[in-house]
Amino acid sequence: MKMKTLPILLATCLVLTACARPTQVNTSTANPAKTADILRFPTATATITPTPVPTPGDTRYELDGISFVVPACMALRPTVETVPAVLPDPNAGPLMYFPEHRQVTFNGYPLNGKYFEPLLRVFPVAEFEPMSDLTADRITRMREVLKDQTIEPKNTLPLLPGYNMMQVFHAQVKFLDFQSGQGLRWLTELAQYSAAVNNRDLFYSYQGITSDGKNWISVMLPVNAAYLQETWDSTEVPPGGLLQPSPGNPNMADELKTYYTLMLVMLNNTPDAGFAPALDCLDKLVASISVTK
């Protein structure tokens, strides 16, 4: 994603709300805040604990202590590697860092050429947590979220590793257990500005912790929706989509609020099968994950 700075604070899109979906952008939408958090954040929602039921075409893999099922809905060729640690550098700014960890790459993933490649990463918590206050805070918040099974609307969702970008929005948020722990999944994009919701940057994020507290699970998988523009700077939008407001107009802040409000309604109301790959297919892969070391 282009790291372009616009004169609109990213916080604008992180506090957005949702309302009934009109047919076009309307900057005069009144008080969307009243229904916002119902669509964006699950509160007092029971954890989903699906039992991965083998179906014809499902394939189980065991790779360096990480086992999971590749569902029949996707033809993937997973490989695992050990990624060396990248330590925090006080002179380098808030760049991405992490301990040595295991990383699964999903070759043959149905989408390619996206900002993030499809990955499953297993980070050792004991080594990751003391790396920085940011990392420690996200791990602590994840423990609290999983204990309470509630997400406060004012908080962003804890994602690791940390990037030099922020989550522009959260959609399709759902608690989801995996075989050896708990976590939650959602759709988002990362940016340093108020980015358009687009198919190059949109991804499925799953973040969780194993039941023994030893490992942090991070899954990042690109997803697309037919009504989204292809890239952040596209000027053409498919039928049923929304064009992001153009910069430079005096009503930009209000129009952005409305744009993200309507986009969240669209994303949250899209059924699992309306995304590619389907979200329930990705959920099945995640729910089957077991870490044995």
Per-residue pLDDT at 45 exceeds 60:
no
Nearest to 201 by CA among 219, 220, 175: 220
Mean pLDDT value of segment 23-42: 34
Amino acid identity at 26: N
Tell me the sheet residues that pair with 62.
67
User: Per-residue DSSP letters for 55-113?
Assistant: -TT-EEEEETTEEEEE-TT---EEEEEEEPPB---TTS-S---B-SEEEEEEET-S--S
For residue 184, give both structure tokens: 């939650």
Quote the pTM value: 0.81
CATH class of 34-87+100-231+266-291: alpha beta
Determine the 3-state secondary structure of 200 from DSSP. coil
Cα–Cα distance measured from residue 266 to residue 241, given in angstroms and rounded to the nearest whole number: 9
Q: Hunting for tokens 């602590």 — which residue is that?
A: 140
Cα–Cα distance measured from residue 282 to residue 185, given in angstroms and rounded to the nearest whole number: 10
Per-residue pLDDT at 54 exceeds 90:
no
**Which tens digit of pLDDT belongs to each residue from 158-168?**
999 988 889 99
Ramachandran assignment for 273, one of left (phi > 0), alpha (psi -120 to 50 degrees), beta (any other): alpha
Nearest to 68 by CA among 179, 176, 184: 179
Handedness of CA 271, 277, 281, 286 (dihedral sign): negative
Q: How confident is the model at residue 60 (pLDDT cuts 50, 70, 90)?
A: very high
**Which tens digit of pLDDT belongs to each residue from 210-267?**
999 999 999 999 999 999 999 998 888 899 999 888 777 788 888 888 999 999 999 9
Check whether the bond before 277 is cis (ω within 30° of 0). Answer: yes
Cα 219 to chain centroid distance, Å, stands at: 9
Torsion of CA 75, 73, 198, 119, to 10 degrees: -50
